[in-house]
Structure 1
Amino acid sequence: MKKKTVLILIVFLLFVIGCATTQQQLLDSDSSQVQLRSIQTRAFTTTDKEKTLRTIIATLQDLGFVIDKADAILGTVSATKLKNYALRITVTVRPRGETQLLVRANVQYNVEPVTDPEPYQQFFIALEKAMFLTAHQVD
């Protein structure tokens, strides 16, 4: 009888310890998610969502991506780059106030989310140049 009680107590303690660890990990991930979101997001001073989506598509193609899906109503573009790896990007566009659009990119390498700022910076640098050229009607 004592062995059964001790076994139940051990299982209960393991359960409680496991829950505490999971809760701490959830709390830790909140701050990293905020940092990741700041890396993934840029604001552009324009209200032309359709032109912005077309510029995003052109930028992704210039970077070697193949467009998988684009939805102007939802404001999303999904693309894949297959070159010795599977890099997938989803870009969303939504209004921010009355004069800006918020562009957010989400990159995955194979099936893992990319948290390194470098691919996001490369995408946004290329997009900023393309947005400038589009705004000034340079081909």
Structure 2
Amino acid sequence: MKKIYIMIMALAMTFILNGCASPDYSQYYKLSPEHLQVRQVQTRIYETNDEEQLLTASTHVLQDLGYIVEKTDFDLGFLTCYKDREAIEADQVVGRFLVALLAGVDIGNDVAQRIKVTLVISSIKDNPNKKVVRVSFVRAVTNTHNVTRYELILEPAIYQDFFNKLSQSVFLTAEKI
């Protein structure tokens, strides 16, 4: 009886001490191979020392694109905004119907999405007359089962369109047009 008690205690101590071991977090800090490409698409450098003007121009461009501003911090050079849209697609509805018909399972389909934009402006350490603008677009898609998934939008055309409009806005603002 005493041997069983000692074995149970030893086993319990093993589990307790194993739970105190430090997990390996190094895998969480590894960047994917395409990370640099994504960053290049999301980032542009502007020849200006007026961070406030750049943030104001960014706000105007996003509002013109239909986004609602959530938060702006001129001291930090930070802006967040969002736009709500429908996410219903005909091919997804047909696919849902076929799966329900053949398998008898309702997989749900996307019904709503919120596109969130985060924009950060920072200075280049060696050159105060240049500002770095980094913007990211993220979709939060909700389906008929009220399950939400998040996707980073990586389509270069969206970023290119934003930066083209921002460049025009910065030029017009600088020329007071």
Q: Same fold (TM over 0.5)?
A: yes
Normalising by structure 2, report the TM-score: 0.61
2:160 paired with 1:117: no
Please state whether the residue corresponding to 2:80 is helix, strand or coil.
strand
Report the alpha carbon displacement of residue 98 of structure 1 after superposing the two structures with TM.
Answer: 2.1
Asked if 1:100 is matched to 2:130, the reply is yes
Shift >6 Å, 4+ stretches: none
Letter in 2 for 1:37: R
Counterpart amino acid of 2:71?
K
Partner SS, residue 112 of structure 1 = strand
How many residues end up aligned between the 2 structures?
Answer: 113
Structure 2 letter corresponding to 1:40: Q
SS at match of 1:101: strand
> Deviations for 1:75-130, whole angstroms, at most 9, x for unmatched residues?
10001011212111100001122210100001101121112212111111111110
Higher helix fraction: Structure 1 or Structure 2? 1
Query: What one-letter code is carried by the residue in structure 2 that aligns with 1:86?
Result: R
Larger CA deviation: 68-77 vs 110-119: 110-119
The residue number in structure 2 matching 1:130 is 169
Please tell me the residue identity of whatever aligns with 2:152.
Answer: P
Amino acid at match of 1:89: V
Structure 1, unmatched stretches of 5+, are 1-22
TM-score, normalization by structure 1: 0.76
The answer to whether structure 1 residue 87 and structure 2 residue 115 are counterparts is yes
Q: What RMSD in Å do the two structures reach over aligned CA positions?
A: 1.5
CA distance in structure 1 between the partners assigned to 2:162 and 2:82 by the alignment: 13
Q: Does 1:68 align with 2:107?
A: no
% of aligned pairs identical? 32
Whole-angstrom CA distance in 2 between matches of 1:73 and 1:112: 29
Match of 2:99 in 1: none
Which amino acid is 1:98 matched to?
Answer: P
